[in-house]
Amino acid sequence: MKPQVLQETNWKRVKDEEFKIAILPWGATEAHNYHLPYGTDTILAEKIAADAAGIANNAGAGCIVFPSIAYGVNTGQMEVKLCMNMRPSTQMAIIRDILEVLDKHSIKKLVILNAHGGNAFVPIIRELSLEYPHILMSSINWWVVCKPEGYFTEAGDHAGELETACMQSVAPELVLPLDNAGDGAENKFTIDGFREKWAWTPRRWIYITKDTGVGNPKFATTENGERFLKCCTEKIAKFLIDLSKINNENELYEQ
């Protein structure tokens, strides 16, 4: 049992506990090349959230990890069989309901631990902060917490070396041998603005990749995945400890 994980703990502990931070792992259900499971994003979000909260709670951070959300924004992958899509408006409705619970039980901080590139929580947080101004909301894209240089040869964008190595570390029984994986070759945009990423449009997966991956996983190793996850988890734990010490929002800023 992990006492920092709501699904694994019990009323005997929860009823008298004063929680400071709720952590919501948010993943997706989507194809990850041929070799990784559809639940890759959710599995990694749950693992990092639980481990970071455990470290932070040893320092008195008062974190509780909520059940994860396994559906992400996948509007560009609708043609890929059983890639599950959730609209941003649905995500907002879910977060609003969670905020109602937090408000009822005087938990003043919410951290969304995101593991899926299609999810974008900034505009949702901006809007909901007007409804719940006394709850400090934030989001973390876990895979950018530490720079991939020094850990991976070619990190990749989706089901590449980074995600593959991390899954080899966390759930090796769900990872097929890498000779099953495609090379993750990507068809780039033909328009400079999109290629250089100063203009944006959703990517249509059926046009950019044959194996649903973007990035070659062939150099992935369990050891590199463990090292990278350790770096990200420890930095997130430090963030949670620091956040737990904030009593008023003005304390976030230099005086």
Question: What are 81-118's pLDDT values in tens digits?
Answer: 999 999 999 999 999 999 999 999 999 999 999 999 99
Cα separation, 117 vs 126, whole angstroms? 19
Q: Could you give the residue ranges of the DSSP H alpha helices within 190-221?
A: 192-195, 205-208
The domain segmentation of the chain, as residue ranges, is 11-250
**Residue 255 scores a pLDDT above 90:** no
Cα separation, 75 vs 45, whole angstroms? 21
CB-CB contact of 32 with 157 (8 Å): no
Let me know if 231 is exposed, middle or buried by CB neighbors in 10 A (0-12, 13-18, 19+): middle
**Residue 217 scores a pLDDT above 90:** yes
CATH topology of domain 11-250: Rossmann fold (3.40.50)
Tokens for 200?
A: 């944006």
| Cα dihedral sign, 63-69-73-74 | positive
pTM for the model stands at 0.97
Give the model's pLDDT for residue 17.
95
pLDDT tens digits, one per residue of 158-181: 999 999 999 999 999 999 999 999
